[in-house]
Structure 1
Amino acid sequence: MTSTPSKRPPSALRRLPLALILGAAVIGAFAFRDVLTFDALARHREALLAFRDAHYLLASLGFIAAYAAIVALSLPGATIATLAGGFLFGLFPGTLYNVLAASLGAVLVFLAARAGLGADVASKISARGGAVARLQDGLQANQWSVLLMMRLVPVVPFFIANLIPAFAGIRLLPFAVTTAVGIVPGALVFTSVGAGLGEVFARGEAPDLSIIFTGPVLLPLLGLAALSALPMVIKALRRKEA
């Protein structure tokens, strides 16, 4: 007796998670633009600290879940959430919480995009050939290096960087690992800024987020990006010699 092959969910059902994320992103851009802000964090800082002190485990889990939702639904305020992680939990475990939450949110976006459109887009690109297909092949052949560079030097917006690999047919493991590793340096910087927010609040000032573009921070990030590109360079040189 032959077993019936499993059927894929209907196309509309597979695209529902991605549609919900895109819809939430549009709504959130207007509904939360005045909620997830530095001023809101400053106003509620005492209540947040009191809740953390009274319910540390619940505060930790709630923070990770809320931050992951902000990333997964592409709501405004991811930077504020990173600062809040440092303000509430210090450099450690604040950095760990920030990296875990941002990576989880990114993976959810990636999976939603891959289930909804990614597989179809990737197969159509391969079938058509041409320059885009060659670009896709190059990304797949050097996925670890390219994805890591994309995270270390975030020229591409975080949300777009979650979608491109899904549409290029990248596997989940390289995406998840390079995301978690690649955002660590930036998370360290912004979490450390958040850890010092108590003094900033006391002075009635706003944090200086331009620190990420200063030489002591930017140059090491560029160095790490160059190091992640080294395997691609070696592979290209070997191909020329062959």
Structure 2
Amino acid sequence: MTDRPVPLWRRLWPVALIVLALAAAWASGVHRYLSLDTLREQQDALRAFVAENTVLAFAIYIAVYATATILMLPGALWITVAGGFLFGLWGGTPATIVGATLGASILFLGAKTSVGSALRERAGPFVQKLEKGFQEDAVSYMFALRFLPIVPFPVANIAPAIFGARFRDYVITTALGIVPGVIAYTWIGAGLGATFAAGGEPDFASVARNLVPAVIALATVSLLPVAYKKFFPKKVPA
């Protein structure tokens, strides 16, 4: 007796759940609270809560970051900055990495078991060729996706699932690949108290200008194994 194939609508339930949750978040307007103005207005209350409930505050922050990542809400930058503002560089950096990696991993598993499997079954030769090339150097490609500033975070989260990346490799490249950006913006957040006190604004443009060349260089380095295999393929023994 052969097992019946699982209907497409049943495999797409993770995507439907994410879409419904995202719609509810947008309808409630929760995304509007992910802003610098909210952080400025609520800074005293937030700092007081962290001082009185440090462990709980870390847990809530990680959960909020993971949820925002899963729902692909705009404003992750402000959450990262808030992590530095509330926990400092050495507390905010690991908390952000954990929250972002956790959320991205859940999104990856949802996409892999629903969208990924459905697309691979219906993929034509071109997509199958892309998938094969990706899997041969999955780690290099995933690092490049993380480092390239032109690749949106949600795309870097979902694309590896569609191309059949291994979960372990995905988690490792996510946790390590987001480190440069997380440190940069957490550092801004750590100095935000003095910026607010002086009535100034954080200089994100300057950080971006300094950060982009570095991450592009990292992306280039991560793709060197791919280029080497392309130009120096292994010879098949006769």
Tell me the TM-score normalized by structure 1: 0.89
1:176 aligns with 2:171: yes
Q: Do the aligned residues in 2 keep the contact of 1:85 with 1:95 (CA within 8 Å)?
A: yes
In structure 2, the residue matched to 1:224 is 218
> What are the Cα deviations for residues 146-172 of structure 1, in whole angstroms up to 9, with x where unaligned?
110110123121112211111111121
Distance in 2, Cα, partners of 1:86 & 1:176: 23
Structure 2 residue identity aligned to 1:201? F
Superposition pairs of residues 75-86 of structure 1, within 5 angstroms? 75-86=73-84
Give aligned pairs, total. Answer: 235
Which stretch shifts more, 198-207 or 172-181?
198-207
State the partner residue of 1:17.
14
State the 1:240 CA deviation: 7.5
Q: What residue is the counterpart of 1:138 in the other structure?
A: 133
Partner of 2:147: 152
Q: Could you tell me which runs of 5 or more consecutive residues in structure 2 were left unpaired when the two chains were aligned.
A: none
Q: Is the 8 A contact 1:24 1:75 kept in 2?
A: no
Q: For 1:111 and 1:19, how far apart are their aligned partners in 2?
A: 14
Q: Is the CA contact 1:109–1:162 (under 8 Å) kept in the aligned structure 2?
A: yes
C-alpha change, 1:160 and 1:25, in structure 2 (3 Å) is farther
Instruction: Give the TM-score of the pair, scaled to structure 2.
Output: 0.90
C-alpha spacing 1:241/1:8, structure 2 compared with 1 (3 Å): closer
Which portions of structure 1, spanning 4 or more consecutive aligned residues, are displaced by more than 2 angstroms?
4-14, 22-30, 203-206, 217-220
Identity %: 37
Indicate how the Cα distance of structure 1 residues 163 and 21 shifts in structure 2: closer, same or farther if over 3 A, else same: same
Are the aligned partners of 2:62 and 2:96 in contact in 1 as well (CA < 8 Å)? Answer: yes
- CA shift for structure 1 position 195: 0.5
Give the CA deviation at 1:35.
Answer: 1.5
Structure 1 residue 205, shift from structure 2 partner: 2.9
Using the alignment, how far apart are the partners of 1:6 and 1:55 within structure 2? 51
Q: CA RMSD in A?
A: 2.2
Mapped contact 1:32–1:75 kept (Cα < 8 A): no
Partner of 2:201: 206
- Deviation for aligned residue 1:112: 0.9
